[in-house]
Structure 1
Amino acid sequence: MTPTRKEAAVVRRRFPTLAVTALTAIALTACTAGKENAPALGAGRKPSGSASTALPAASLELWHGFTSPGEVKAFEDAVAGFHAKYPQITVKLVKGVQDDQITQAVRGGKVPDVASSFTTDNVAQWCKSGTFQDLTPVIAQDGVDISVIPEASRAYTEFDGKRCVMPLLADAYGLYYNKALMKGNQPPKTLSELAELAKKLTVRDADGNIQVAGFVPSFQYYENVASHFAPVIGAKWYKEDGTSAIGSDPAWKGFLRWQKELVDWYGYDKLSKFRKSLGQEWSADHPFYKGKIAMVLDGEWRNAMIANEAKDLDYGTAPFPVADDRQELYGGGFTSGTVIGVPKGAKNPQAAWELVKYLTTDTQALVTLSNAVRNVPTTKASLESPELKKDANFQTFLDIFAHPSTSTVPSSVSSSFNQESFQEFMNHWEAGSVKDLDAGLAEVDKRLDDKLKLSGS
């Protein structure tokens, strides 16, 4: 599948090349290729015990997408904790793996025992097709308390009654603001406040060209995609029957009108010229670092990037402003994250599940990964751990992630298509190409519903 705009950016950041480099984290024992008629997860299995002798000796292979030295080292350290608990199990780590490699491996019958992914939009199809095995039975057998994971992360790791992956780390989205450019103003809490402050903080030259933008409302700018805005405006993606709700939900219409008014205030051509002049999102030339934009929507990882690329920047973070008529949503936001599971055909599924369970429920493992990667850990205990490194700016995103109004895109086998189609429409809308909003959104609904019929969902 094609990743969403944000996920594609993260993939580019974490995959500088397409080469897959193997390394051994705990032992030099290599795993053999997958065998035919591999045992099914949970078949003839008894609940795992606490003793290390509860599992037979095994060699596991785990594929993950991390590539930077610090991230890879953190994964090694987390897996080392598992090996200490189960010394009879060795784990070989393979870094830099992308989703299509996992899918192809399952089709070819040569699969790892465990695989992780950055792209949650793939989960529904993986669960439906059986690419990843259903963990529901073993979760029940082992008495794993899923409620320790916030509801939003539980939502993006299951589909149609199957939990085929577990959440490993999460992303949360909020508002970053440049304290100097804010000129003493407090971060806005509603969209109307955001628009008013954006206008107040914008600086133009004598010809009206934008020199500094209070906020860039363009849907073609970095993280400004529909999925990231939906939770703060209370918008729905689907109706109860699974068909598109975009055209009938007034929240989307209100938001699109708010956005277009602000785009028109800047001037579409002026805003486009300014946007195209800005530095790349994943570089040290990011316009937020350079004082070109006062407020931006971004994920929690930006804190770590600022520490590395703009350490002298004086900035703050806050929840993103919400729709004026949905102020009870303030404090929440959008979330997605890394997922991990046991692929179909894994030759050691029982030991593989123990590794997945350890990495996703053990507090120290999650804290180790979070401290290195600077993503949000995904259990309540890890969020509250005194060993979790956090300052006020990172704490904002821990609070957003734990907030009851935080949500994600509901699981659907056509999730990526739906988001991309709507994004295309929004680009036309801000450019002024859509003359009838109701008719345009109705056409979006039809396109999405036609795709739903083709997918057989």
Structure 2
Amino acid sequence: MRLVPLAVAAVVAVSACTACTAGRQAAPSLGAQPRPSGSASQALPAATLELWHGFSTDAEVKAFEEAIASFNTKFAQITVKATKGVQDDQITQAIRGGKAPDVAASFTTDNVAQWCRSGSFQDLTPVIEQDGIDLSVLPEVARAYTRFEGRQCTLPLLADAYGLYYNKALMKGEQPPRTLSELTALTKKLTVRDAKGEIKVAGFIPSVQYYENSPSHLGPMVGATWYNDDGTSAIGSDPAWKRLLTWQKELIDWYGHDKLERFRKGLGDEWSAEHPFFKGKVAMILDGEWRNAMIAGEAKGLDYGTAPLPVADDRPDLYGSGFTAGTVIGVPKGAKHPQQAWELVKHLSTDTDSLVTLSNALRNVPTTKASMESPKLSKNANFQTFLDIFAHPKTSTLPASVNSVFNQEAMAAFMAKWEKGSAPDLDAGLKGVDKLINDKLKLSGG
């Protein structure tokens, strides 16, 4: 299982001098030293690397150990000490304090822009070019969420892709919806109420407050854009957002906001065996590929299917795409052994067998074309859905921004007010979100 949380604590701005303190000699950096001649495995000197990552369960840690072991078959002279359960704020503070690890991996892309702009993570472009790595092996969307302002300061490790899960028993032979109008009709057909009109089974919950229904995950259903070319907010001017929120509000009003809220608040925890989809209380949900692994572990008898998310009726070209983001990995400024660290980053992010090992254990999408097509990759029809979504040319991500978390929270807060009926003027509300985002952008230096 993997999450892509909003790492609110990690939005702290990082000063440009992140790897040095008064009187301390700056650590070596990538490209600052001549590359060793001969094969890298023979020429690189011995070193002990510190690798920090956010994975913490036994299965996750074991998968990382196996991927590192395959690295050690190439570089026997390099020892890797992995520290589990590390969050973005810890990485940021370590870099600022001159105690950076050699390699760091993050669950979220929320801080890539800040890390790239500040130089907290080193630009990998020189060594990517020097080693002749063709980044076209990655879908363009994965390249997009790992770089900012021309700096490729991270590489994708594993990805999350979002689609539709549906309960086949509750669907009673119905096919998964392809458009928002089909989703609305099927939601109404599958919803069950008691004699008082209270919801017993929901066809689909459109509320932004429900589990994975964040603005970034919902936006691709209508092709919504977050930013203009100059980095300012496009939410108030892009009609796709208005289309999405109008559809959302109409379906919530059909349920009855208060009735839907009572039902939602009575549902089980998202990360437990009491998940309402497992219990047949919700027929269709928006969720990530990792939910397949949770179903296999917590709801073995569940008969379910997966499909791409429904899309706006006037945008059939979007069907098959969705939202993606994922784990990123890079070399922080201040790494003691940057050349050896780069070899580890390169191995973990581009080696097919390593990516397949991690994907099979963690059930996230591997990020290179070769790893997605590997015969060693464990997959069935329900997992293949997410491989296809990730590879779709119109799959999108949240564009990098130094205020990524703030921007998402501002939009989510407005959507919660809108669905409740506390923001009657949709146009004015969306323009208000623009103002919040643009004001924050000015404070952050653009």
- Per the normalisation by structure 2, the TM-score is 0.94
Q: Secondary structure at the match of 1:450?
A: helix
Aligned twin of 1:377: 366
Question: In the alignment, is residue 7 of structure 1 matched against residue 4 of structure 2?
Answer: yes
Q: Secondary structure at the match of 1:121?
A: coil
Contact residue 51 and residue 80 of structure 2 kept, 8 A: yes
Contact residue 162 and residue 289 of structure 2 kept, 8 A: yes
What amino acid maps onto 2:310 in structure 1? P
Aligned twin of 1:330: 319
Bigger mean CA offset, 168-177 vs 90-99: 90-99
Aligned twin of 1:182: 171
Contact residue 48 and residue 142 of structure 1 kept, 8 A: no
- 1: distance between equivalents of 2:41 and 2:99? 28
1:51, CA displacement in angstroms?
Answer: 5.2
Q: CA 1:49/1:142 → structure 2, altered by over 3 Å: closer, same or farther?
A: farther
Q: CA 1:48/1:349 → structure 2, altered by over 3 Å: closer, same or farther?
A: farther
Question: In the alignment, is residue 144 of structure 1 matched against residue 133 of structure 2?
Answer: yes
- 2: distance between equivalents of 1:287 and 1:321? 21
Identity %: 73
What does 1:248-397 correspond to in 2, within 5 Å?
248-397=237-386
Contact residue 47 and residue 142 of structure 1 kept, 8 A: no
- 2: distance between equivalents of 1:398 and 1:303? 13
Q: CA 1:100/1:9 → structure 2, altered by over 3 Å: closer, same or farther?
A: closer
Q: Secondary structure at the match of 1:264?
A: helix
Aligned twin of 2:182: 193
Bigger mean CA offset, 440-449 vs 165-174: 440-449
Aligned twin of 2:235: 246
- Per the normalisation by structure 1, the TM-score is 0.92
Contact residue 111 and residue 345 of structure 1 kept, 8 A: yes
1:45, CA displacement in angstroms?
Answer: 2.6
Question: In the alignment, is residue 155 of structure 1 matched against residue 155 of structure 2?
Answer: no
Q: CA 1:52/1:424 → structure 2, altered by over 3 Å: closer, same or farther?
A: same
- 2: distance between equivalents of 1:124 and 1:102? 15
Q: Secondary structure at the match of 2:210?
A: coil
- 1: distance between equivalents of 2:103 and 2:112? 15
Contact residue 36 and residue 345 of structure 1 kept, 8 A: no
Aligned twin of 1:19: none
Contact residue 46 and residue 141 of structure 1 kept, 8 A: no
Aligned twin of 1:28: none
Bigger mean CA offset, 367-376 vs 40-49: 40-49
What amino acid maps onto 1:56 in structure 2? P
What amino acid maps onto 2:70 in structure 1? G
Structure 1 unaligned runs (5+)?
1-5, 12-34
Question: In the alignment, is residue 86 of structure 1 matched against residue 75 of structure 2?
Answer: yes
Aligned twin of 1:69: 58
Aligned twin of 1:3: none
- 1: distance between equivalents of 2:425 and 2:38? 62
Question: In the alignment, is residue 36 of structure 1 matched against residue 11 of structure 2?
Answer: no
Question: In the alignment, is residue 129 of structure 1 matched against residue 118 of structure 2?
Answer: yes
Cα displacement string for residues 237-294 of structure 1 (whole angstroms, at most 9, x for unaligned residues) = 0111111100010000011000000000000011001001100101100000000000
1:324, CA displacement in angstroms?
Answer: 0.7
Aligned twin of 1:217: 206
- 2: distance between equivalents of 1:293 and 1:430? 19
What amino acid maps onto 1:140 in structure 2? E
Structure 2 unaligned runs (5+)?
9-23
- 2: distance between equivalents of 1:414 and 1:45? 36
Q: Secondary structure at the match of 1:339?
A: strand
What does 1:434-445 correspond to in 2, within 5 Å?
434-445=423-434
Aligned twin of 1:95: 84
Instruction: Name the Cα RMSD after superposition.
Output: 1.3
1:44, CA displacement in angstroms?
Answer: 2.6
What amino acid maps onto 2:390 in structure 1? F
Q: Secondary structure at the match of 1:120?
A: coil
- 1: distance between equivalents of 2:98 and 2:83? 17
Aligned twin of 1:23: none
Aligned twin of 2:11: none
- 2: distance between equivalents of 1:200 and 1:50? 63
Contact residue 36 and residue 44 of structure 2 kept, 8 A: no
